[in-house]
Structure 1
Amino acid sequence: MTGAAAERGELAFVLHTHMPYVEGYGTWPFGEEWLWEAIATCYLPLLDVLDEGAPVTLSLTPVLADQLAAPGLVERFAAFLRDVRRETHRIDVAGCREGGREAWAQELERAAGDYERALARVEQMRDGELLEAFAAHAAWTSSATHAVLPLLATDAGVRLQLETGIAGHRARFDRDGREWRGGFWLPECAHAPWLDPLLEEAGVHAVCVDLTDVLGRGAAQQLAPLQSADGPLLVPIDRATIELVWSDGGYPAHPLYRDYHAFTVHHHRVWSNAGETYDVEAARAQARADAADFVRRTIARLDAGSAALGRPALAVCAIDTELLGHWWYEGIDWMRAVIDEAGRQGLALATLDDALARHAPVPLAGVVGGGRGELPTTTWGTPRDLSTWDGPQVADLAWQARAAELRTLGGRRRPSPRAQRELLALQASDWAFQVSRELAGPYPRERATGHLAALEHALAADADGDGAHGDGAVRSLAPHLAAGVALPTSH
């Protein structure tokens, strides 16, 4: 960076890429179809942008990597595209034409091309190649199964999640001169100060945190990394930047964009947010306009922040990757346009690892807690606490997971790999999140109940000395299971 761009600082996109463990756990309406849709509409198009050299930080959860590496993935994904998506588009097109809705039929035929292009790509792949395509881009990792770490009951449970996830990332992506640099996405951005020494012990050097309610929305202090006393850098995500994209009034709500929530009979989308037949060219033009607006606003944010801080600012725009292309159909077009506009308008983009090497951290004690550096437990949930995952609606799930963790890791005998994997699956944040948001009917409770029952079976087999042979339904989960766990310390 030189000149005005160097003085204003830079923007770092962090894309958090995650999918719960759905391999073999249902198809329609919940289960593996989630993974197939994400690959077709988000991951494959995003890889094209990343391969063009986009300076974006990609966080890839170990549980998603487990599924992308699973045997038979290519065949099952291709079958979904060929036997389900191709056929359901055909039926909906015919129905629209029979009903005199030619414009809808034509839009469905156009949209079907998205899946046909994905099919053409995947038919040229072998198992493992899709994960391999991420190898040059997956810079940050996460816990093994996306557990909300502050809700775990023991240090041993935290270590099992951390070490298993990090071991999987290193085994898959540390090669050809690339090496993990210690970037770690805290699931749900959930941070508690007692985690810091455990994170540092595991080799974590930087995490993102949501301090909006601690520092204040739009505060300049959101634009500098913070040095914790006992662990890694705490990098605030910048809600003032993020909410341009991800909020009720953000760009995806524009009337011209495709409506994610309105479906045809076979779950396809032909309407804009305004209720009109979707016009892809008008939407793409709007994506370019919104990209230009985003860059202008981010430059203003950085300029003001740098002036207030007396040093170049660092804005971190962290979003779930699946927003791009899946939830927000035009999101990939917008991302590509932002990269182009940044060059034209003089906005410096950087990967977060590179940016952190240029931005000296501010001591946490000098920013929060009246000089003591004390932080509350925070998340990027609504509200920014743990209630999405331990509130009244899901308290039973939180308590049963903690009790199961104590039973599994609290004895003198090391639990079998089968028991550890079922515990990891039970601890996933996804089940409580889906229950709290009423997103998937009975599915998340069925998943939590099933993993708990399988864990109890495995523990009983461990106690009998028989062991729990094989990995059951969690066949591809956590193949790089941590080598050992210490006796727990409860929280």
Structure 2
Amino acid sequence: MREDVYARDIVGLRETGRPREAAALETLRETYRAAGRDFDARGGDVASALLRHGAWTSSATHAVLPLLATPEGLHRQLDGGIAAHRARAAGRWDGGLWLPECAYDPALDGPLADAGVRATCVELTDALGLGAPGHLRPYRTPHGTTLLPIDRVLMDLVWSDGAIPAADAYRDSHRRTTFDLLPWANDGSPWDPERARARARSDAAAFVAAARERVRDGGTAVVALDTEFLGHWWLEGPWWLEALLDEAAAQGLELVHADAAAAGATDAPPLPDAARGTTTWGTPRTLWTWSGPQVAPMAWRARELELQVVARGADATPRAWRELLALQSSDWAFLRTRRTAGDYPDRRSDSHAEALDAELHALGSGSPAVRHLAPFLDGDAARSPSACAS
């Protein structure tokens, strides 16, 4: 089907006198084909192939953890994500966990440690101030988990309005063809891969120079970017990253994996009092994106249904837990707040809530499976949440 879409748009562009746009799509079609070959060569298991580059996991369905209503619900989210990671990594997990939406609250310290989390990232920009030296050092919770502050000074160079990906040469991710393809650059010209790659190299050099300046007096700047940002929203992101690695070596900038940064932080201090609150990387850096008035009914419904599932105790079925996990995904509230997907987030949230309500009224009446979600729930609804990670 995708091949047909490319073919139709390429022909259409050529017939309407836009050969350069057609040539751009031909290049992009080859990129698509190469990705397909790589996907097939890995047996369709992209996640396992990526594990040698990153060993962190997250919660089961990217729920905003400070918004969960019960310890049981929190354990299910944490254990579900950890179990899924271990299933793909032959049981190996080194304790790194990404907090969904970078949402942290000191109340999570105990549960995170109990789940085996040894390192995670936190967003302290508003608490400490943009550019403050405190962002360049790790902290440690009373329970032993290392907290790595992300550094907005560097991250905003590539992930903010008008940042590097908005440069003229890069592909425009908004202007689309008849069949929803993207052959134009940000300046309106046909996308040129050589021009874009050259820009990626120069931008990588500038970024490394900025990073060197940022840590000139010592410390570690943590740069955390969504995976889909590099390659999906920013097509040239992987080229930029590749050039960045070369530039770091050339300019003498040491790159450190987050696990290594956390492992060397055994004497890290506790969070400063100013940072001991609830923070996210949302806009603003609070829970508002996922619990403000625009999504309050959605948020309260998820909490109410979580209480109902937990109240069933051992009688709660795998189907009930799976629908609850799906309902708790941060995506539904995020998309509704941003108004970028029409009524899609409402329909998805409603469908999971309705399915969960139906299951609670007739436990065991529905299929236990929900599109391969949380396969660790193997039908033994009586076992404790912590056993899910075994």
Matched AA of 2:322: R
Alpha-carbon deviation of 1:360?
4.4
Alpha-carbon deviation of 1:479?
0.5
Closer, same or farther in 2 for the Cα pair 1:199/1:122, shift >3 Å? closer
Closer, same or farther in 2 for the Cα pair 1:138/1:471, shift >3 Å? farther
Are the aligned partners of 1:186 and 1:208 in contact in 2 as well (CA < 8 Å)?
A: yes
Query: What is the match of residue 170 of structure 1?
Result: 86
- 1:430 equivalent in alignment to 2:326: no
Alpha-carbon deviation of 1:247?
0.9
- Larger RCO, structure (CA 8 Å, separation 6 or more): 1
- 1:97 equivalent in alignment to 2:19: no
Runs of 4+ with >6 A deviation: none
- 1:182 equivalent in alignment to 2:95: yes
- 1:288 equivalent in alignment to 2:206: no
Are the aligned partners of 2:99 and 2:120 in contact in 1 as well (CA < 8 Å)?
A: yes
Closer, same or farther in 2 for the Cα pair 1:122/1:206, shift >3 Å? closer
Alpha-carbon deviation of 1:144?
0.6
Matched AA of 2:174: H
Alpha-carbon deviation of 1:119?
2.6
Are the aligned partners of 1:86 and 1:115 in contact in 2 as well (CA < 8 Å)?
A: no
Structure 1, gaps ≥5 residues long: 1-82, 307-312, 487-491
Q: C-alpha separation between the residues in 1 aligned to 2:279 and 2:42?
A: 41
- 1:222 equivalent in alignment to 2:135: yes
Closer, same or farther in 2 for the Cα pair 1:412/1:114, shift >3 Å? closer
Cα deviation, 1:315-350, whole Å, max 9, x if unaligned, reads 100010111111111100000000001111100112
Query: What is the match of residue 340 of structure 1?
Result: 246
Are the aligned partners of 1:225 and 1:362 in contact in 2 as well (CA < 8 Å)?
A: yes
Structure 2, gaps ≥5 residues long: none
Query: What is the match of residue 307 of structure 2?
Result: 406
Matched AA of 2:48: E
Matches within 5 A, 1:238-387: 238-304=151-217, 306=218, 313-364=219-270, 367-369=272-274, 375-387=276-288
Matched AA of 1:387: W
Are the aligned partners of 2:42 and 2:49 in contact in 1 as well (CA < 8 Å)?
A: no
Closer, same or farther in 2 for the Cα pair 1:295/1:138, shift >3 Å? closer
TM-score (norm 1): 0.75
Q: C-alpha separation between the residues in 2 aligned to 1:171 and 1:117?
A: 27
Q: C-alpha separation between the residues in 2 aligned to 1:469 and 1:446?
A: 20
Pick aligned residue for 2:374 from 461, 478, 485: 478
Matches within 5 A, 1:231-242: 231-242=144-155
Secondary structure of the 2:195 match is helix
Secondary structure of the 2:55 match is strand
Q: C-alpha separation between the residues in 2 aligned to 1:101 and 1:171?
A: 49
Cα deviation, 1:189-209, whole Å, max 9, x if unaligned, reads 001111111111111111100
Alpha-carbon deviation of 1:484?
1.9
Cα deviation, 1:372-399, whole Å, max 9, x if unaligned, reads xx61110000110011101111111000
Matched AA of 2:136: L
Query: What is the match of residue 206 of structure 1?
Result: 119
Query: What is the match of residue 57 of structure 2?
Result: 141
TM-score (norm 2): 0.94
Matches within 5 A, 1:40-79: none
Alpha-carbon deviation of 1:243?
0.7
Alpha-carbon deviation of 1:257?
0.8
Secondary structure of the 1:318 match is coil
| CA RMSD of superposed structures (Å) | 1.7
Query: What is the match of residue 468 of structure 1?
Result: 365
Matched AA of 2:273: V
Alpha-carbon deviation of 1:485?
4.0
Secondary structure of the 1:430 match is helix
Matched AA of 2:341: A
Q: C-alpha separation between the residues in 1 aligned to 2:375 and 2:36?
A: 28
Alpha-carbon deviation of 1:125?
4.8
Q: C-alpha separation between the residues in 2 aligned to 1:340 and 1:136?
A: 19
Matched AA of 2:21: W
Pick aligned residue for 1:126 from 39, 43, 55: 43
Matched AA of 1:161: Q
Identity of aligned residues (%): 48
Matched AA of 1:166: I
